[in-house]
Amino acid sequence: MSGLGEGIGAAIEGGLLARAVEPRAGEVGSHSPASSVTCANCGTSYHGHFCPECGQKAHIHRSLAAIGHDIMHGVLHLDGKLWETLPLLTFKPGELTRRYIAGERAKFVSPMAMFLFTVFAMFAVFQMVGIGAPTDIANDLFGSDGDNPVQTEVRSQMEALEKERSTLPASSPRRAEIDNELKGLNLVFAKAGSPSDTGEKAVSVNTGIPWFDKVLLEKWKKNPGLMLYKLQANGYKFSWLLIPLSVPFLWIMFAWRRQFKAYDHAVFVTYSLSFMSLLFIVMSILSTIPDSDIWAFLLFAIGAPLHLYKQLRKAYGLSRFSAFWRFCVLMLCMQIVVLLFLIVLGLLGAF
């Protein structure tokens, strides 16, 4: 990415516009490695391309091309490290995790930077290919407090009979007839509200936890489309929560192996989630090709478990048996983490 920006810069710097704004020899920005330089940032005198005290470049750009380079660097912030990191993340994730933990930090994109970049790219691709939560879901998915058409008609008949009854004297035999009709209409009204008779598939959900049912489930019942939209939006903003939710499970599996710290588990989880985001990007692009759904499914069903096993074994230096049983436990723990994550997103969307 940085090379592309430098290429653009070189192309523009050769033009008249660049020469109009770039300083001439001897002015700020003109520098030879052999000459002495006074850092414009901290005032240190030195020889070389970078200040040994603050790290600022000796050559100070004053061209429009430099603005373009800064924009690309600011958005991606990955530079050439991306091309060192991606191949290892894809094919040798355990080696990447082990080398980063061991101290090879300058060569690779940091786990969090890689995670944020891949999550941003994943949701951007989702938007481009039209993948999103079905926010137009029927509002009566969880049941509705309103009447259906049959109940509305029955209710109007009941109101007309009750109005007629109120105008009759107490001794009128018509009152008894109306009472019998009202009893029959009440039965029809109740039966019309049954999902099995109306064809509706209302879902009745009740956890038994009063505050949870009141705060969360009631809002899902009232407007499930809005709640799904909030779930999708919060999933992007709070995707980083998957890291602290996952680390304790890894720590438990290695609790008796004191050489592995919580930091090591966090690096493992973050790089693993980064790969999963990249995998979802490839799957979503494949889904745009006709009759390729089966290939996208096979890619996920084979690629995700294989990648996790390889990373687990190589990152921690495990035997096949140790890696396999931890892999099986981790697959179960992942389902728990996803469930906890969804609950947290649901609670965040309720406020």
pLDDT in tens, 212-225: 555 566 666 666 66
The Cα–Cα gap between 216 and 265 comes to 32
The Cα–Cα gap between 217 and 222 comes to 9
Read off the pLDDT of each residue in 164-190 and give the average, rounded to a whole number: 78
The Cα–Cα gap between 62 and 32 comes to 17
- What confidence tier does 77 reach under pLDDT thresholds 50, 70, 90? low
Read off the pLDDT of each residue in 144-149 and give the average, rounded to a whole number: 56
The predicted structure's pLDDT at residue 21 = 42
Secondary element (H or E) of residue 290:
none
Secondary element (H or E) of residue 153:
helix 149-167
Q: Which of 44-58, 194-208, 215-229 reaches the highest mean pLDDT? A: 44-58
The predicted structure's pLDDT at residue 303 = 93
The Cα–Cα gap between 279 and 72 comes to 24
Read off the pLDDT of each residue in 28-36 and give the average, rounded to a whole number: 58
User: What does pTM read for this prediction?
Assistant: 0.64
* Phi/psi at 303 (5° precision): -65, -45
Task: Yes or no: say if 62 and 21 are a contact pair by the CB < 8 Å rule.
Answer: yes
Query: What residues contact residue 336 under an 8 Å CB cut-off, 6+ apart?
Result: 249
Task: Yes or no: say if 140 and 200 are a contact pair by the CB < 8 Å rule.
Answer: yes
The Cα–Cα gap between 121 and 102 comes to 28
Percent of the chain with pLDDT over 70: 70
Burial readout 45-75 (b: 16 or more C-beta within 10 A, e: otherwise): eeeeeebeeeeeebebbebbbbeebeebeee
The predicted structure's pLDDT at residue 138 = 46
Nearest to 64 by CA among 4, 1, 8, 2: 8
